[in-house]
Amino acid sequence: MRAEPGTYALILRNSSATRLHIGALGRIDPEPGYYIYVGSAFGPGGVRARVARHLRRTKACHWHIDYLSGLCSPIAVWYSHGGERLEHEWAQALCDMSAMSAVKGFGCTDCRCHSHLFQTPTTPDVARFSAAATGRIEVWSCPDAAEDASSHEHRN
């Protein structure tokens, strides 16, 4: 993952049912399972800096995802470097996939998307997502996850 602009999907695992109060969004009750948060990073440090911020345990809660990321275990990041904002297309691709439940209004207060956060009870499949999404999808597995930490590439 490079310090360049792009789009990313943060894959998180939640192990227990809980209740969160997320700013103006209000209360959500995250169920156990996997969560996929879609975002973009076009500021200084690009995707690498934004993802590093999301993965920090101690941080000010600025975005909706900041409240959830402290609760969940990071599993992986799917990302694509480039100047095109793909987050809305990626959110739509996830919305259209079976077994994905959108968390209404999460992470999308600045756009018309239904959600930028999706929940699934099963391990998210990057190959399936890559087939539905725009751009070349790369994978970074989080070092603390019990998965291989090597990078993979999926092309569309």
User: Is there a contact between 82 and 151 (Cβ–Cβ < 8 Å)?
Assistant: no
User: Is there a contact between 30 and 46 (Cβ–Cβ < 8 Å)?
Assistant: no
Task: Give the pLDDT score at 58.
Answer: 81
> Regarding predicted confidence, which is higher, 80 or 153?
80
Q: What is the pTM (predicted TM-score) of this model? A: 0.84
- Spell out the residues 6+ positions from residue 56 whose beta carbon is closer than 8 angstroms to its own: none
Distance CA 50, CA 95 (A): 23
For the chain, what is the mean pLDDT?
83
Helix (H, G, I), strand (E, B) or coil at 108: coil
